[in-house]
Structures are given as structure tokens and as C-alpha cells.
Chain A
Amino acid sequence: DVKVTQSSRYLVKRTGEKVFLECVQDMDHENMFWYRQDPGLGLRLIYFSYDVKMKEKGDIPEGYSVSREKKERFSLILESASTNQTSMYLCASNEAGIDGYTFGSGTRLTVV
């Protein structure tokens, strides 16, 4: 069964910490995405990548960066975590073309 795996279900971090959220897909997909989901705001795109070492900003990239050194892995980095980055983070992937998206199970990040 194809999968998008997010390494942590729950994370609690302190303000100012550098935080890494990891996402791995086993479908050899070209495109990978990071979204955050907040009540009342829905899902918002942070960053996406359409190839190794390639990245593009989404709608809310401020305070985040990403890394894609290998095709299967897409990391979201919070350089200096802040309380307003407390959220559910969702990783997704899809093949170039018109295929649907596959999402991971999410990481609930709390910054205290």
C-alpha cells in the first residue's frame, strides 16, 4: 500500500527552538507539499517541491524553510519556532500530471 509517512504524530517544542518535520513517500512521486491546518482557516500551502533540490513558496512561507535532498523525503524547517506556529502540519505528494494527492497522517505541533 502506497504511503506518505510523517515521522511524528505529536511534537511539543519551546519558543525559539529549531524544529524539523519530516515526510517520506514511497511512491516515487515528483511533487511534495507541506500544508498547515488551523480551525477557521482551513488548509494553507506553506511550500512545495516539484523535484529534488527544487522548492517554491506557497501561500504562507514566512517563518518556514524546506529541504528536499532526496526524491522521497521533504522536510519542513521552523528556524525559530513561535507560538503562532502551533498547528496541524500535513504533508502530501502526487505524481506530475493529473493524479490525485496522497496525504500523510499529520503532525500536531505545539510550541510553548
Chain B
Amino acid sequence: KQEVTQIPAALSVPEGENLVLNCSFTDSAIYNLQWFRQDPGKGLTSLLLIQSSQREQTSGRLNASLDKSSGRSTLYIAASQPGDSATYLCAVRQWTGNTGKLIFGQGTTLQVKP
């Protein structure tokens, strides 16, 4: 059974720092991995999607990497800002029947202090 783990559960950094969020998964037979952001009381916003054949994806100050063989992904945030404060979730997509099923980690709650 696929399990997704995110470490750390919470992180507090001063503004301007570069930081790395970690995601690990137990079954490397995935189709893709997606990073989401969730603000308190809100839905999920997709940040980056990495297909299983890719090694990384970049969007602005965000860079996500994927090492499928070792079951790991990292989300790198450059020059963090207070507006980056949120919970970050990673999710892997498994194939189930006719469709894909997302399995989520518990998330990392990030606080960026001014």
C-alpha cells in the first residue's frame, strides 16, 4: 500500500531564506507527483506537476524534483516571502481501475516571518 510522508510537519523561517520541503513515498510505481498549496480554510492550489519520466519542474521561485527510484521529491522555495506561508501538500498518483487515485502526504505547514 502506498504511503506518502512529508517532513517536517511544520517549519518556521525568516523572510528571504531558501528552503526545502521533503516528500517520500513507498511505492515507486507512480504516474506523477503533484505539489499543492493550501491556505487556511481554503481549497488546494496546484503548484507543480512532475510526470514519472521527468526529474524536475520549475515555476517562478519554486522548483520541484523527483527521484522515483528512491521514492523522494523535494520542493525548493527560493527567497521565501511572508506570502508563502501556507500548508504544502504532496500527492502521488496511482493507477486504479479506469482512473488515477491521488494519495496525499500530511503536509508541511510553513510560516515565513517578516
Please give the number of chain A residues whose Cβ is less than 8 angstroms from any Cβ of chain B in the complex. Answer: 29
Bits for A53-70, please: 1 = Cβ < 8 Å to B, else 0.
Answer: 010101000000000000
Query: Does A43 make an interface contact (CB < 8 A)?
Result: yes
Please classify the interface of chain B as helix (H, G, I), strand (E, B), loop, or mixed, using the class held by over half of its residues. Answer: strand
User: Which one of B13-21, B65-73, B75-83, B102-110 contacts A?
Assistant: B102-110
List, in ascending order, chain B residues with CB within 8 A of A33's CB. Answer: 102
How many CB-defined contacts (below 8 Å) exist between A and B? 61
User: What's the minimum C-beta distance from A5 to chain B, rounded to whole angstroms?
Assistant: 10
List, in ascending order, chain A residues with CB within 8 A of B97's CB. Answer: 50, 56
User: What's the minimum C-beta distance from A58 to chain B, rounded to whole angstroms?
Assistant: 8
Given A31-B99, A98-B32; A42-B105 close (CB under 8 Å) = yes
Given A42-B105, A98-B32; A108-B43 close (CB under 8 Å) = no
Q: Which residues of A contact B (CB under 8 A)?
A: 6, 30-31, 33, 40, 42-43, 45, 48, 50-51, 54, 56, 58, 88, 90, 92, 94, 96, 98-106, 108
